[in-house]
């Protein structure tokens, strides 16, 4: 695969090199090549399995994010378009296999967490149900269509997967009454299982759809993950567009539209809360019974990433107020520090990694959601300074010492660095337009 795409990689890298400095261009080329050269495996049916990195499994979330930098060039390079379509078809097959699973094996060999107490399958690496894991395959399929105009990946399998996604999200609008999904892991941290002492809460129906786990693969403290529901609303609009323009399926169109209306109503009525500073902001999680979690996590979808997933613009007042909270010490996982060089290394982390560990993904999202060129440059320099000499991005690094990091090989982080460089060099395609909706109602208590 690396040889097949070597000319493409070199061509893009040279275009980047002509618009930026050599240190940035060299890091970009290493990260850009790494995904194509190390993560793709052809399946017997012609689809492509995509490793997340140092874990030998394919995450629906990660495999979409890993392809983000290449989508910008899919319209001009047929081999890249074909590669993305092959991953998209593999994702859809996995959704049809089990829409509650978040990560899969390349073969039904029983790899992964087979001892978890849930409806496991030898195809499944992990069955942590996350709303966003179903959003990402729709996003990839839609973006490939929107970028290239191709529709061969949007046939009957996609339609069946879209219906399965909508049916699941409908079921999980009242999890306690209607869902059969259960998950328990043994001998693990409390955040790795739904059966845990003193955590979690029951939910009340709100229009929102329930999620067991967050985009970090950590268990939700409250059942309704807010950025996950916003992402679901955006991708339901994408299903609606595909159903109208490609599939000509009136029933699928109506199902997607009706569920999106429910979720958007739930967001308007239950997720806008008061921050410690007195501003109206989005909560990270709610339960519809008064439970609220004020936090944001570096994993996407996050509240910080809302303009990137298409929920709102970067100038949206409610987003800007939420952003101020996220990028402050009022957010429990925003960590502050300084490197030995004197560089400010503050940034967004996650409960998924140790305290005081900043995520390059979070830094990239911070840069991609601002129009301040100086701030983008500052974050780019910080990323170049915190690779610990490996020439690649990591999952997280200690805010005062980047030689202390988690995950030596993490393809999603490499992809996000590439996205930032393409954005800053003017080689990225335009951002997604925000989803069309009526203005949110006045803030109400969650």
Instruction: For the chain, list residues with pLDDT below 70.
Output: 1-4, 196-200, 431-432, 435-446
pLDDT of residue 4: 61
pLDDT of residue 444: 44
pLDDT of residue 6: 86
- The tokens of 146 are what? 């929107």
44 burial (CB, 10 Å; 0-12 / 13-18 / 19+) is exposed
* Residue 286: partners with Cβ closer than 8 Å, 6 or more residues away: 206, 208, 222, 224, 226, 270, 271, 273, 292, 293, 446
pLDDT digits (tens, 9 = 90+) for 70-98: 999 999 999 999 999 999 999 999 999 99
The Cα–Cα gap between 419 and 349 comes to 19
Residue-range domain boundaries for the chain: 39-332
The Cα–Cα gap between 42 and 87 comes to 9
pLDDT digits (tens, 9 = 90+) for 7-52: 999 999 999 999 999 999 999 999 999 999 999 999 999 999 999 9
Class of domain 39-332: mainly alpha
Which residues is 396 bridged to in the sheet? 406
- What single DSSP character describes residue 280? E
In 39-174, alpha helices (H): 60-66, 68-71, 78-97, 131-148, 156-171
């Amino acid at each position: 695969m690396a040889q097949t795409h070597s000319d493409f990689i070199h061509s893009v890298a040279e275009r980047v090199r002509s618009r930026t400095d050599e240190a940035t261009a060299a890091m970009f080329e290493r990260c850009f090549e790494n995904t194509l050269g190390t993560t793709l495996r052809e399946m017997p049916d012609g689809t492509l399995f995509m490793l997340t990195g140092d874990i030998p499994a394919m995450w629906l979330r990660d495999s979409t994010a890993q392809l983000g930098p290449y989508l910008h060039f899919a319209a001009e390079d047929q081999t890249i378009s074909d590669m993305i379509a092959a991953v998209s078809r593999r994702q859809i097959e996995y959704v049809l296999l089990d829409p509650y699973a978040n990560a899969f094996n390349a073969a039904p060999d029983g790899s992964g967490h087979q001892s978890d107490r849930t409806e496991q399958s030898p195809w499944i690496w992990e069955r942590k149900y996350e709303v966003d894991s179903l959003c990402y395959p729709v996003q990839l399929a839609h973006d490939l269509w929107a970028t290239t105009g191709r529709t061969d990946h949007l046939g009957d399998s996609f339609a069946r997967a879209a219906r399965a996604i909508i049916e699941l999200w409908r079921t999980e609008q009242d999890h306690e009454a209607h869902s059969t999904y259960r998950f328990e892991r043994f001998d693990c941290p409390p955040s790795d299982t739904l059966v845990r002492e003193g955590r979690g809460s029951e939910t009340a129906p709100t229009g929102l759809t329930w999620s067991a786990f967050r985009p970090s693969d950590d268990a939700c403290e409250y059942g309704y993950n807010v950025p996950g529901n916003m992402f679901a609303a955006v991708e339901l609009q994408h299903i609606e567009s595909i159903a109208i323009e490609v599939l000509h399926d009136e029933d699928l169109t109506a199902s997607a539209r009706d569920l999106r209306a429910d979720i958007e109503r739930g967001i308007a009525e239950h997720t806008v809360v008061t921050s410690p500073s007195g501003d109206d902001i989005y909560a990270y999680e709610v339960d519809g019974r008064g439970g609220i979690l004020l936090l944001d996590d570096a994993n996407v979808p996050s509240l910080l990433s809302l303009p990137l997933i298409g929920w709102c613009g970067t100038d949206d007042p409610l987003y800007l107020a939420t952003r101020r909270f996220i990028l402050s010490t009022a957010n429990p996982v925003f960590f502050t520090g300084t490197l030995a060089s004197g560089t400010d290394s503050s940034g967004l982390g996650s409960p998924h990694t140790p305290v005081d560990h900043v995520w390059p993904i979070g830094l990239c999202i911070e840069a991609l959601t601002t129009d301040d060129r100086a701030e983008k440059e500052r974050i780019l320099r910080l990323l170049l300074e915190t690779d610990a000499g490996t020439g690649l991005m990591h999952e997280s690094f200690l805010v005062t010492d980047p030689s202390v990091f988690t995950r030596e090989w993490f393809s999603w982080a490499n992809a996000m660095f590439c996205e930032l460089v393409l954005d800053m060099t003017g080689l990225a395609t335009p951002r997604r337009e925000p989803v069309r909706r009526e203005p949110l109602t006045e803030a109400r208590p969650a």
